[in-house]
Amino acid sequence: MPLFAQFAELNDALASTTKKLEKRALISDYLQALPIIDAGRAALWLSGAPFAEIDRRVLNIGGSLLSKAIAQLAATNPAALSAAYRRYGDIGAAAADLLYGHAPDQPTLTLADVESAFTALAEARGPAPKLRLLLDLLACATPGEAKYLIKLATGDMRTGVKQSLVEEAIGEAWPQPADSTHSDSQSKTVPAAARKASMLLGDLRQVVALAAAGQLDQARMNLFHPLGFMLASPVASTDEAIARFTEEILAEKANAILSEDRAAIAVEGSAVSSPTTELSSRPEVAPATVAEGPAVMPVSPAAALRAAQDGVPSAPAVGVMGCQLEDKYDGIRAQLHLAPNHSPALYSRNREDLSVSFPELTESFANITESAILDGEILAWNPATNRALPFSALQQRLGRKRVPVALRREVPTVLIVFDILYRDGSTGQPQLLLEQPLAERRRHLEDFAARWSPATANTAPNAQHSLFETPAEPAFPRLILANATRLSTAAQLDQAYLDARTRGNEGVMIKSLASPYQPGRRGLAWLKLKRELATLDVVVTGVEYGNGRRAAVLSDYTFAIRDAADPGQPLKNVGKAYSGLTDQEIADLTAFFKSHTLEDNGHFRTVEPILVLEVAFNNVMRSTRHASGFALRFPRILRIRTDKPVSEIDTLARVEEIYTTQPDKPVDESS
């Protein structure tokens, strides 16, 4: 039977090359040589997941449990483990180093053994049983095997392999019948069938089985595994939004013309091509391809010229045609999966199941008896004003395994839906809507919301709630259709942004009505206009080591502002940032802070307050976490201010001013 050691060796080879084609070939060759059931296991694990997307099981093995197991097997102490982690920036590699001389030399673990061990770990309850099982597994592993067992358990393989590359390798390993007539050059083009099957099934093991049988085209949608979320590209001004949207729409229309030309040429001997309407009157035209590669193909100068000659308006008029405006909500992006006789499920962008944190949503959505996948945003909601509460209110609901009834009542939530990816439809015929243009998906979404939103006004608390007399939760629809407005002028975009901020939302979304839904893709078809609230000049007071590849550098910076009214403690912390600097800047600052350390606490250092940074952020919140009484939301470093002395950094009064004047002032945060 195939050994896990061979899987580990493959991953070492994958990590040693940066060439995508070489990685794909390594994976393809390895999978082809395995029995199908083992190829399925390996394909899944190469993507970095111990279980399939559609499988709700989790290992629940944290760093503390892993550290205990490694320290026990390697007969070492936490300090040595910490030093090894700092050296490699990877707990798997650190474990392999420490386990040499304490682990078997000859491999015995098979892929099937590892699968059985993962199953047992997922079923075990409590840290003690999990630790015993983890020790049993690692005790059978060579250092090289332990390295990748731990990496797989933590979901951090660090081989430069994404799921999409595994899907490509599957397509290369088992070309489908439709690909058998391709030329040599065409056969190197990885078929889209493997990617689509993976998206539909949510299980790479099933994809391998279908690919090996030449039946990828038979893949059908499996609900209750998160699809990738389509993402928006940020813009900082209405002028930039119009310019970038102009580029996108012109490319779409020219590409549509190019596709028509190709189709006409393909019809050999055809004297009359298909009738077409004038492009300026059909904004619903979809891009020529959505299944493979970028949504917008490169447009030749001839095609662009034809687009102009055939009635495509010139910029800036084209930038406000064929798109809609939506508010950009300040909540948690979520994907809702629904099916009769199945508990509704909510998934986050990082594919976590959010259902347990929002039981009133899943209770109310259980009243929907139509299968569907909806894309939206979870918001804390004020039913009296029909407006969203600030994100700081929603934070109280996150990460809870049990939500108290009082909290459900005090911070009710809704799901604002703005897209629909799949539905059964009134005829009961399943429809995957990803390749439909947004205009068509919006019609489906409006129909779905009109039919089912009223049914979500009632929640059905679990049986335990009925044992106690508690005030009833307010009854109002928990599924709310996002407002969408057709954009007609550039001036309208500016006003829409101001209106959205007044409603307490982050900004506006601009979406092409022609755009398909492309899971995991960030392009110009969706733009988000979200201006930064302000910037502050702050001084760094504390630094700490990062994680992963930043484990050996001081990359997380706690910073403060001045409080002129408190001479005893003039510097008061207001936040922490870890993004915005280059690797070289971080390396230089690591050396700087080591030489200006006041107190070394191992992972965290208090440093001399002499380095000034300019930071941007989205909001200011009240908070008891910092001495200033405030916290910056989503702070990011814009630049190092070597030109500014600490005496000129911003003050607590300035922070209070920003907090008071921001249009969507958050509620106080007590955590």
| Structural domain contains residue 529 | no
The pLDDT of residue 295: 35
8 Å CB contact between 543 and 605: yes
**10 Å Cβ neighbour count for 7?**
24
* 430 exposure class (CB count in 10 Å sphere: 0-12, 13-18, 19+): middle
37: tokens are: 């059931």
Say whether both 564 and 633 belong to one domain.
Answer: yes
Tell me, what's the pLDDT at 606? 94
Same domain, 360 and 473: yes
For residues 119-123, give the mean pLDDT.
97
**Same-domain pairing of 573 and 440:** no
* Residue pair 385/504 in contact by the 8 Å Cβ criterion: no
CATH of the domain at 426: 3.30.470.30
More confident residue, 429 or 307: 429
Higher-scoring residue by pLDDT: 329, 312: 329
What does the DSSP assignment read for 484-542?
Answer: -EE---HHHHHHHHHHHHHTT--EEEEEETT----TT-EEEEEEEE----EEEEEEEEE
Residues in the chain: 671
450 with 549, same domain: the answer is no
Percent of the chain clearing pLDDT 90 (strictly above): 56
The burial class, CB within 10 Å (0-12 / 13-18 / 19+), for 555 is buried
SS3 state of residue 548 = helix
For residue 420 the two structure tokens come to 């629909």
* Confidence at 371, pLDDT banded by 50, 70, 90: very high
Least confident of 81-90, 197-206, 249-258: 249-258
> What pLDDT was estimated at residue 303?
38
Query: What burial class does residue 160 get, using C-beta atoms within 10 Å of its C-beta: 0-12 exposed, 13-18 middle, 19+ buried?
Result: middle
Residues 596, 542: Cα–Cα separation, whole Å:
11
Q: What is the pLDDT of residue 28?
A: 97
Residue 625 and residue 548 share a domain: yes
The stretch 497-515 carries a mean pLDDT of 88
What pLDDT was estimated at residue 191? 60
- Considering the domain architecture, whether residues 543 and 473 belong to the same structural domain is answered as no
Q: Is the pLDDT of residue 294 over 50?
A: no
Number of H helices, E strands in the chain: 22, 21
In terms of pLDDT, which residue wins out, 333 or 246?
333
Tokens at residue 509, please? 């979304």
Q: What is the pLDDT of residue 382?
A: 92
**Per-residue pLDDT for 169 more than 70?**
yes
Residue linked to tokens 């061979």: 6
Name the DSSP class of 40: H
pLDDT of residue 253: 60
Q: List pLDDT tens digits, range 278-289.
A: 323 333 333 333
Does residue 461 lie within any of the structural domains? Answer: yes
Surface-to-core class of residue 189, CB atoms within 10 Å of its CB (0-12 exposed, 13-18 middle, 19+ buried): middle
Is residue 135 scored above 50 in pLDDT?
yes
Same-domain status, 472 and 345:
yes
**Res 183 pLDDT > 80:** no
302 CB neighbour count, 10 Å cutoff: 12
Do 468 and 336 fall into the same domain?
A: yes
Gap between the Cα atoms of 422 and 433, Å rounded: 5
The verdict on 463 and 605 lying in the same domain is no
Tell me what pLDDT residue 260 has.
Answer: 54
What's the predicted TM-score (pTM) here? 0.74
Strands (E), 68-158: none
The pLDDT value given to residue 471: 58
Of the three residues 464, 481, 498, the one that is the final residue of a domain is 481
- Same domain for 468 and 582? no
Q: Give the pLDDT confidence score for residue 212 in this predicted structure.
A: 96
Q: In the structure encoding, which two tokens stand for residue 303, read together?
A: 């095609």
Q: Which structure tokens are listed for 627?
A: 């001495």
pLDDT score of 472: 66
Residue 520 lies in a domain: no
User: In this predicted structure, what is the pLDDT of residue 281?
Assistant: 32
Using one digit for the tens of pLDDT, what is the confidence trace for 649-667?
Answer: 999 999 998 888 776 555 4
In a domain? residue 96: no
Does 278 reside within a domain?
no
595 lies in a domain?
A: yes
Considering the domain architecture, whether residues 445 and 377 belong to the same structural domain is answered as: yes
The answer to whether the beta carbons of residues 154 and 91 sit under 8 Å apart is yes
Q: With 60 as the cut, is the pLDDT of residue 357 above it?
A: yes
Q: Is the pLDDT of residue 224 over 90?
A: yes
Catalytic residue among 147, 151, 328, 511: 328
Domain-embedded: residue 487: no
Give which of 16, 117, 130 is closest to 64, Cα–Cα: 130
- Mean pLDDT across the chain: 83
Instruction: Clarify whether residues 548 and 431 are in a common domain.
Output: no
Q: What CATH number should be reported for the domain holding residue 620?
A: 2.40.50.140
- Domain of residue 405, residue span: 330-481
- In angstroms, the CA 325 to CA 73 distance is 58
Tell me whether strands 534-545 and 612-617 are parallel, antiparallel or unpaired: antiparallel
Q: Does the residue 472 lie in any domain?
A: yes
In the chain, the number of structural domains is 2
- 3-class state of residue 90 by DSSP: coil
Say yes or no to pLDDT of 82 above 60. Answer: yes
Is 328 a residue of the active site? yes
Beta bridge partners of 537: 614
119 SS3 class? helix
- Kindly list the distances between the CA atom of residue 310 and the CA atoms of 75, 232, 256, 303, in Å, as whole numbers in the listed order: 76, 29, 12, 10
Site of tokens 């809507």: 433
Q: What is the pLDDT of residues 535-575, one digit of tens each?
A: 899 999 999 998 878 888 999 999 999 998 888 889 999 99
Q: Mind listing the pLDDT tens digit for each residue in 4-44?
A: 999 999 999 999 999 999 999 999 999 999 999 999 999 99
pLDDT confidence bin for 426, thresholds 50/70/90 = low
Nearest to 517 by CA among 255, 258, 282, 335: 335
Residue scoring higher pLDDT (79 or 16): 16
